[in-house]
Amino acid sequence: MNTSQSGMDRRGVLGAIGIGGMAVLSGVAGGSSPTHGYAPLSTLGLGPDQLGWDAAKGEFVLPPLPYAANALEPHIDAETMTIHHTKHHAAYVAGLNKALKGLAQIRDQQAEPWQIKYWSRELAFHSAGHLNHTLFWNIMAPASAAGGQPAGSLAAAITTDLGSFEKFVGHFKEAARQVEGSGWAWLAVHHLSKKLVIMQAEKQQDMTSWGVTPILGVDVWEHAYYLKYRSDRGAYINAFMNVINWTKVSELYSAATGK
C-alpha cells in the first residue's frame, strides 16, 4: 500500500494542507500570491506581534490584550474579559499549535494518514478561533475612545455599500442576535468588488464566505456575555456597539481596500 509513489503524492498533499489549512481561518482566503504560508493573515491588517507568532519556536503564543481587562467596563466586564482571554482564547492558540504539530507529524512519519481529516478540522476551528479573538480584542477600545460612528472612507463606504450607518447597525445587530448557537457576526470587505458585506459565522468559521477580509466582528458565544448579561444577547450586542474602535476598523478597511 505504502509505495514510494503514493508516499510522494501524500507528501505533496500534506505540504499543501499543513499551512494552507490556515486559509480556512474565519473565512479569510485568497489574497495576493503568498510568499510564505501565513499570507492570508496579513489580510487582517494584524502583524506577527499582534497575532503572537513566535518565529523562533515556530508556533503561536497567546498575545496580550491591547488594554487592561477592565478597560471596557461597564460594557464588557473584567471577569468576562479575563476568562475569555486567558481560558478560551488560550485554548484556541494551544489547539492551533497542536493541529499544526499533528499534521506535521503525519507528514514527517508518512503514517496514520486517516488522521488528516481530524487534524484539518482541528486546524480550521482553532486557527479561526485564534484569529477571530485577536481581531475582536483589537477592534474594541475603552468607550471614551470608541463607539459612535466611523469617519472618512469607511463611513462613505458604509453609506454607499450598505445604505446608511443606521441600516448597517440594524443589519449587523440582527445578524449577531440571530446566530444560531455559538458564533460571530462580521463586517468584511469582499476582495473582488471591494464592497462591504455583513456575514454570520456559526462556531468559529462555519458558514463564512471565502474571498473576504473581516474588519469588525462580535463574538456571540455565551462565554462572551453570560456572566454579565445572562441570556440577553441583545443587551450585550447593544453594549458592544459602545466599545467599537472605529479608528482601528477604519485602518483595517484601508488596509483591505487601499481607500
Task: Please report how close the Cβ of residue 136 comes to Mn ion at its closest, in angstroms.
Answer: 7
Q: Considering the rule CB under 5 A, would residue 219 count as an interface residue with Mn ion?
A: yes
According to DSSP H, which parts of the chain are helical? 4-20, 39-42, 48-51, 78-83, 90-109, 116-138, 152-162, 165-177, 226-229, 233-240, 246-257
Q: How far is CA 246 from CA 31, 51, 216, in A?
A: 24, 20, 9
CA-based nearest residue to 115, from 129, 131, 98, 90:
98
- Contact region with Mn ion (CB under 5 A), list: 3-11, 95-103, 114-122, 213-221: 213-221
Closest residue to Mn ion, judged by C-beta, is 219
Site track 64-93 with Mn ion (rule: CB under 5 A), x = hit: ------------------------x-----
Judged by beta carbon, residue 83 or residue 255, the one nearer Mn ion is 83
CA-based nearest residue to 177, from 131, 140, 105, 229:
229
Judged by beta carbon, residue 88 or residue 203, the one nearer Mn ion is 88
Q: Considering the rule CB under 5 A, would residue 221 count as an interface residue with Mn ion?
A: yes
Task: Please report how close the Cβ of residue 176 comes to Mn ion at its closest, in angstroms.
Answer: 13
Judged by beta carbon, residue 88 or residue 195, the one nearer Mn ion is 88
In one-letter notation, the amino acid at residue 53 is W
Interstrand relation of 212-219 and 59-60 (parallel, antiparallel or unpaired): unpaired
Judged by beta carbon, residue 88 or residue 177, the one nearer Mn ion is 88
Binding site for Mn ion (CB under 5 A): 88, 219, 221
